[in-house]
Amino acid sequence: METLITGTKKSKIYTDSVKIRYQVFVEEQKVPISLEIDENEGFCIYFVMYDDDKVAVATARLLPNDRQSNTVTLQRMAVLKEYRGLGYGRQMIEIVEKHIKEQHFSKIILHAQLSAKAFYIKMRYVPYGAEFEEAGLRHICMRKWIL
């Protein structure tokens, strides 16, 4: 298992991230591609987890929001369907949180699909606010302080 990180769209890591996102969000969940690839692509940090056979199986991206509030937004967290339930999501969150702490950010926010809410609660994220629709799917805002 290996997780690689990039801040540039000119890398294989970014391309692998987009491939996973396309499979999960566009093909599986029917999110329009125009919403999946957005104006923040060039500002994000991308994480891709590779299995022992070098297959890209999970991804996430971080959008640094505001240095003053030390907040980042976790976005586009996805695990390929055939790899779900094997702990890749939990491992990805742990790696992302370690990176955030090393970069001296202290708060993570995210928009969780309702189907993933219980997963994030297990990872100690706290829901807040009302449920809402985003990209045709029900979501809830969640946050976690990294100390």
Domain count, the chain: 1
- Each residue's pLDDT tens digit, 82-97: 999 999 999 999 999 9
| pTM given for the model | 0.93
One-letter identity of residue 17 = S
- Each residue's pLDDT tens digit, 3-31: 999 999 999 999 999 999 999 999 999 99
Mean of the per-residue pLDDT values of the chain? 93
DSSP 13-57: HHHHHHHHHIIIIIIIT---HHHHS-TTGGG-EEEEEE-TT--EE
Q: Which residue has the tokens 């769209």?
A: 9
Q: Kindly report the CA angle at 89 between 88 and 91, in degrees rounded to 5?
A: 65
d(C-alpha 62, C-alpha 110), whole Å: 10
Report yes or no: 119 and 89 within 8 Å, Cβ to Cβ. yes
State the DSSP code for 1.
-
Report yes or no: 13 and 44 within 8 Å, Cβ to Cβ. no
- Each residue's pLDDT tens digit, 94-122: 999 999 999 989 899 999 999 999 999 99
Q: Which residue has the tokens 């297990």?
A: 122
> What is the extent of the structural domain holding 123?
2-145
Maximum Cα–Cα distance across the chain: 41
Q: Kindly report the CA angle at 54 between 49 and 58, in degrees rounded to 5?
A: 25
Residue 119's domain is classified under what CATH number? 3.40.630.30
